[in-house]
């Protein structure tokens, strides 16, 4: 399972690199794809590597909330 997660993270990194260099998408589509990939990658590290699943609810909410606020604030300054 760890190896599959690592493989998925590597593929997601390659996809985000290609999206950054590809000129066919609109600016906001590029931002959206890259940020969604970053969100999925961090989520994967939280659940599969750190294994936050069995942690107390407060800690899980803090970590998941942190991720949403970070991605949200970066996105906000592109969309506003």
Partner 1 sequence: VNSAARRLPGHEGLWFFLSADLVLFLLLFGSYSSERSAHALAFAQAKHLLMPNLAALNTLYLLTGSWLAAAAVHAVKRQRVKQAGTCIAGAVVFGVAFIATKMAEYAFVVREGVVLGDGGFFMYYFVITGVHLFHVIGGTGLLLVVWWRLRHETGSATDPLLTQSGASFWHIVDILWLIIFPMFYLLP
Note whether 47 binds partner 1 by CB under 8 A.
no
By CB under 8 A, the residues from 59 to 78 that bind partner 1 are 59, 62-63, 66, 69-71, 73-74, 76-78
Note whether 14 binds partner 1 by CB under 8 A.
yes
Contacts of 46 (CB under 8 A, 6+ apart): 52, 63, 64, 67
Note whether 42 binds partner 1 by CB under 8 A.
yes
Note whether 51 binds partner 1 by CB under 8 A.
yes
Question: In angstroms, rounded to a whole number, what is the distance separating the alpha carbons of residues 12 and 63?
Answer: 21
């Amino acid at each position: 399972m760890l190896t599959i997660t690592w493989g998925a993270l590597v593929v997601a990194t390659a996809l985000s690199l290609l999206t950054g260099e590809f000129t066919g998408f609109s600016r906001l589509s590029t931002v959206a794809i890259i940020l969604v990939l970053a969100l999925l990658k961090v989520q994967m590290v939280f659940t599969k590597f750190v294994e936050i699943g069995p942690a107390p609810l407060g800690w899980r909410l803090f970590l998941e909330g942190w991720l949403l606020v970070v991605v949200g604030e970066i996105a906000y300054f592109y969309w506003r």
